Structure 1
Amino acid sequence: MNPYVRDRINRKLDTLADERLYQILDYVEFLESKYAEKSAPVANVFTRFAEGVEDKLRAGGVAVSTVSETMGFLNKAMGVLNGVAQTTMTVAGDVVSAAKTAADQVGAPPPATTTPPQPGTQPAPPGVPPTPPSAAA
């Protein structure tokens, strides 16, 4: 979107009451359904939920001021839930990383017993030390 047009539209929108802004939103959604050149970005689950609540309130004839106040509360709650979700993802990533590190340390053989196999020989089974090359001949 052209940033100059966006700024101009925002300046015009700042002068209008919430009731008119909802009318504009309805019109923009109508235009999007008819003429959109690309699909809108997918909103996260919290945003979709809040927009669904907002649409239900508006369809039910709830006063615009009540809808605005309710959406303010929902937006604060969504901010908290997004923070919790981000923290949970970070902790889960740390747990996975620590588990991989521990698994690598437990499952890897000690560096002193690691010798590349000699051509023409078979690797020793696990737990059996490799045969020195002079004894195999």
Structure 2
Amino acid sequence: MNPYVRDRITRKLETLNDERLYQVLDYVEFLESKYAEKPAPVANVFQRFTDGVEDTLRAGGLAVGTVSEAMGFLNKAVGVLNNVAQTTKTVATDVVSAAKTAADQIGAPPPGGAPTGSTPANPPSAAAQAAPDGAPPAPPTAPPSAPGSNPT
């Protein structure tokens, strides 16, 4: 949008009362529905809600001043809710970051397995490792005797 045209329109709109501004809004929405060259930006859930409430109040035949006052209160509430949502998102991001940092500092094992470089607590004996599948392990053998000693 051309910023000069937008500023000029804004200056002209500031001279109108709320009733005329709603007429301008209706006309702009009509023009948008007929001639828009690109889709309007998607409003967040809070903005869509307030727009719906405003349209409902206007369709109900309430006075323009009443609608404007109600929308002022509603917009303040939406501002608070937006701040709460942003703060919640920031806190969640901080918690995830702190958890990742803590996991890195304590050397947490990689997901799904034992840490690399670890050894089993009870390694199998050499005889059990050498036995073929299904065969019983070989009996333990006596340690070799020292040279010069008598085995009996």
With the shorter chain as reference, the TM-score category is 0.7 to 0.9
Number of aligned pairs? 115
Residues 125 and 87 of structure 1, relative CA distance in 2, 3 Å threshold: closer
Q: How does 1:68-79 map to 2 (within 5 A)?
A: 68-79=68-79
Name the residue aligned to 1:31.
Answer: 31
Name the residue aligned to 1:18.
Answer: 18
- 2:44 and 2:116 map into 1 onto residues whose CA distance is 52
Q: 1:103: Cα distance to partner?
A: 2.2
Q: 1:99: Cα distance to partner?
A: 1.2
- 1:104 and 1:56 map into 2 onto residues whose CA distance is 54
Name the residue aligned to 2:136.
Answer: none
- 1:125 and 1:46 map into 2 onto residues whose CA distance is 49
- 2:108 and 2:99 map into 1 onto residues whose CA distance is 14
- 2:23 and 2:58 map into 1 onto residues whose CA distance is 11
Q: Give the residue type in structure 2 aligned to 1:35.
A: Y
- 1:102 and 1:60 map into 2 onto residues whose CA distance is 57
Q: Give the residue type in structure 2 aligned to 1:30.
A: F
Q: 1:125: Cα distance to partner?
A: 6.5
Q: Give the structure with the larger helix fraction.
A: 1
TM-score of the two chains, using structure 2 as the length reference: 0.70
Name the residue aligned to 1:106.
Answer: 106
- 1:16 and 1:23 map into 2 onto residues whose CA distance is 10
**Using CA pairs below 8 Å that are at least 6 residues apart, which structure has the higher relative contact order?**
1
Instruction: Quote the sequence identity (%).
Output: 81
Residues 125 and 73 of structure 1, relative CA distance in 2, 3 Å threshold: closer
Name the residue aligned to 2:137.
Answer: none
Cα deviation 1:99-123 (Å, max 9, x = unaligned): 11122233457xxxxxxxxxxxxxx
Name the residue aligned to 1:86.
Answer: 86
- 1:108 and 1:74 map into 2 onto residues whose CA distance is 48
Q: Give the residue type in structure 2 aligned to 1:128.
A: T
Name the residue aligned to 2:119.
Answer: 128
Q: 1:51: Cα distance to partner?
A: 0.5
- 1:36 and 1:68 map into 2 onto residues whose CA distance is 27
For structure 2, list consecutive stretches of 5 or more residues without a partner in the other structure.
110-114, 121-152
TM-score of the two chains, using structure 1 as the length reference: 0.78
- 1:37 and 1:103 map into 2 onto residues whose CA distance is 51
Considering only aligned residues, what root-mean-square deviation do their CA atoms show, in Å? 1.9
Name the residue aligned to 2:64.
Answer: 64
